Amino acid sequence: MTDIIIYHNPECGTSRNALALIRNAGIEPHVIEYLKTPPSRALLVQLIERAGITPRDLLREKGTPYAQLGLGDASMSDAALIDAMMAHPILINRPLVVSPLGAKLCRPSEVVLDLLPAPQQGAFVKEDGQQVVDATGARVN
């Protein structure tokens, strides 16, 4: 069994699509609803490093207190951005997926295909109607 972890928000269409793509590969991931169970500061830092992104890359603006907290200020330190994400987990963008092949912020959701060690088992159409995988399990570009 392949260990895949998805930091998931069931209210987010991108997150739901990424989860469905993982399952379309025949893999049942560990699903962490990060708004209910936020990562520790150390784990969040580790996830950011493993994904090869910056804390700013992981910040979510839409539907969050991003503007109210002044997080658009480019002079804010990485530590301050992480502090904000710890205080307001909704600021953590999603879905963040970890697999034996690496870790990525999967936006758009089909980025998750790069992390899956198993092929897609059939066609996949995202919630918005966009086909991402054809009937043979091949990625559609």
Q: What is the pLDDT of residues 96-106, one digit of tens each?
A: 999 999 999 99
Question: Of 135, 107, 109, whose CA–CA distance to 20 is shortest?
Answer: 109
Alpha helices in the chain (DSSP H): 13-24, 41-51, 55-58, 78-87
Q: Look at residue 2 in the predicted model and tell me its pLDDT.
A: 67
Write down the pTM of the prediction. 0.94
C-alpha to C-alpha distance for 128 and 62, rounded to whole angstroms: 19
Domain 5-133 CATH assignment equals 3.40.30.10? yes
C-alpha to C-alpha distance for 28 and 107, rounded to whole angstroms: 20
Question: Of 21, 51, 29, whose CA–CA distance to 139 is shortest?
Answer: 21
* Three-point CA angle 15, 110, 72, nearest 5°: 60
Instruction: Please report, for the chain, the start and end positions of each structural domain, with discontinuous segments joined by +.
Output: 5-133
Q: What is the pLDDT of residues 100-136, one digit of tens each?
A: 999 999 999 999 999 999 999 999 999 999 999 999 9
Q: What is the pLDDT of residues 1-43, one digit of tens each?
A: 569 999 999 999 999 999 999 999 999 999 999 999 999 999 9
Catalytic residue set: 12
Answer yes or no: are the C-beta atoms of 126 and 133 closer than 8 Å: no
